[in-house]
Amino acid sequence: MLPLDINALGPLTTVLITLGIGFGFGFALEQAGFGDSRKLAAQFYLHEMRVLKVMFTGIITAMLLTFWGVALGWINFELIYVNPTHLGSGILGGLIFGVGFIIGGYCPGTALVAAITLKMDGLVFVLGALFGAFVFAEIVPGFRRFYDAGGDRLTLPDWLNLPAGVVVFLVMLMAMFMFWGAEKLEKAFARPGSPGWVDEGADS
Amino acid sequence: MTLGWKTIGALIAVLGSLLLAVVGMPGNDAMLSRMDADLSAELITRAPHVDPAEVLDLMYDDGQQIFMIDVRTEQDYNQFHLLDVRWQPVQSLDVAQCRKLPVGAVKIVMSNDEAAAELAWKKMRAAGLLNVYVLAGGVNVWLDLYKEHCVIPVHQTPITPGGDDVLRHTFERAQGGHHHASLPDRGHVGDREFERKVELTRPSPAVGGGCG
């Protein structure tokens, strides 16, 4: 029975689990305020670090649960899909993604969240993203070699040659430092209405 | 001093990760002990045992990556082995190296009969490797089928599980992978009726990632 294998549950159960996870993810994004492009874009101006805090919290929670599952023998880590590492195309794609994010105020997932709540900017962003995906699909044969370069399954423990448990601890420390730093940045770059803003005249 | 919920959450997370660093991930031996009953049951069904004809077919299939791992002694390996096979004696099988093999590649483990290959198969499965199979009948049956250019009626050769994992065939001199049976002609695939068992398992790829 252990380690757990989702494929052994049958296709219908797998779909239902996936739907449940997707629903939970979208719900959490909306509740975190990620359906509002102003909150998302504020990340880049450093006066509201909500995106970093929420996403990184999700990451470290999932990381801790996953690796505890592996440590207890409940999860086979080799069955977990790890995106292949394509460093060059990842860096360039990340840069392009960042430009689009700050211009549009959304990433594709949060744009869907906004679109489903009938925000016009979210709807337009989704259409733009779909068009961009279409254009990419048409032109990618021209730079396929660059796009596919790399492609190994590479994890931090492999790269650092450290035990997975140690890497989890180091990532956790990094996350705590980033959360602390995010709060400092919010205070330093605060503007009226942002989380770090202190209205010094409020008590007078 | 009262701690806010953020501080409590941070403490739980850091302590949880510190404990994980101390506890560590289970080693291959620990995973093998936990999974031994299930793996033994799977071996009894013969599901992981791949017919030599199917292995021969895979060796010629350019569309499918295959890695063959010979877990016999060095002496037996030097006497004869299949073409392009990797030698890794079962006692010192390096599962960390095996983990670096492509997930979507078929891995065939072989010994003279099946005993050592089945142990290696268990170790690789306990390490989480996918698409690992055992050469049914081992090198002994492979040579029964292909050593003498298939003079014997190959379709009548049953593959009997078990055996003492000793190389039954003798060679005038060690030929390693240079024997004609190291890569028999592909036409011999059709000489046998067999059940195809290789079925690739891949981790299901996620669609998108991060915040999408």
Q: In terms of CA atoms, which chain A residue is nearest residue B30?
A: A73
pLDDT in tens, A108-161: 888 888 898 899 999 999 999 999 999 999 999 999 889 888 777 778 888 898
Which among A6, A79, A169 has the least Cβ separation from residue B20? A169
What DSSP designation does B152 have?
A: S
A179 to B99: CB separation less than 8 angstroms, yes or no: no
Query: Which amino acid, A39?
Result: K
Q: How far apart are CA A17 and CA A21, in angstroms?
A: 6
Q: How far apart are CA B52 and CA A183, in angstroms?
A: 64
Average pLDDT score over chain B: 87
Query: Which amino acid, B146?
Result: Y
What DSSP designation does A51 have?
A: H
Which among B21, B99, B204 has the least Cβ separation from residue A168? B21
Which among B24, B99, B211 has the least Cβ separation from residue A165? B24
Most confident of A76-85, B26-35, B54-63: B54-63
A64 to B10: CB separation less than 8 angstroms, yes or no: no
pLDDT mean over B136-153: 80
Instruction: Name residues whose C-beta falls within 8 Å of residue A162's C-beta, 6 or more positions apart in sequence.
Output: A156, A170
Q: Give the residue ranges of DSSP H helices in A32-71.
A: 37-45, 50-71
pLDDT mean over A97-111: 88
Q: Residue A174: its pLDDT value, please? A: 95
List the beta bridge partners of residue B134. Answer: B49, B109
Cis peptide before A84 (omega within 30 of 0): no
pLDDT in tens, B96-128: 888 888 878 999 999 999 999 999 999 999 888
**Chain B residues touching residue A64 (CB < 8 angstroms):** 13, 16-17, 20
Confidence of residue A66 (pLDDT cuts 50, 70, 90): very high
Query: What DSSP assignment string belongs to A86-127?
Result: -HHHHHHHHHHHHHHHHHHS--HHHHHHHHHTT-HHHHHHHH
Cβ atoms within 10 Å, residue A152: 12
Q: Are A169 and A162 in contact (CB under 8 A)?
A: no
Q: How far apart are CA B212 and CA B209, in angstroms?
A: 5
Q: How far apart are CA B152 and CA B93, in angstroms?
A: 35
pLDDT in tens, A46-60: 888 988 999 899 999
Which among B14, B20, B210 has the least Cβ separation from residue A71? B20
Q: Residue A109: its pLDDT value, please? A: 84
Flag whether pLDDT at B209 surpasses 60: no
Which among B34, B35, B203 has the least Cβ separation from residue A80? B203
pLDDT mean over A171-196: 89
Q: How far apart are CA B186 and CA B58, in angstroms?
A: 10
Collect all residues from B whose CB is shorter than 8 A from any CB in A.
10, 13-14, 16-18, 20-26, 30-31, 34-35, 38, 99, 103, 127-130, 201, 203-206, 208-212
Distances A185 to A39, A105, A176 between C-alpha atoms, Å: 15, 20, 14
Helices (H) and strands (E) in chain A, counts: 9, 0
**Chain B residues touching residue A172 (CB < 8 angstroms):** 13-14, 17
Q: Are B71 and B90 in contact (CB under 8 A)?
A: yes
B17 to A110: CB separation less than 8 angstroms, yes or no: no
Q: How far apart are CA A9 and CA A7, in angstroms?
A: 5
Q: How far apart are CA B67 and CA B86, in angstroms?
A: 8
Q: In terms of CA atoms, which chain B residue is nearest residue A26?
A: B211
Q: Residue A28: its pLDDT value, please? A: 86
pLDDT in tens, B44-88: 999 999 999 999 999 999 999 999 999 999 999 999 999 999 999
Q: How far apart are CA A131 and CA A123, in angstroms?
A: 13
Q: Residue B172: its pLDDT value, please? A: 87
Measured in Å, how far apart are chain A's first and last C-alpha atoms?
66
Preferred mutation among B6, B7, B14, B17 to probe A, highest tally of A CBs within 10 A: B17
Q: Residue A204: its pLDDT value, please? A: 45
Q: Is B50 helix (H, G, I), strand (E, B) or coil?
A: strand
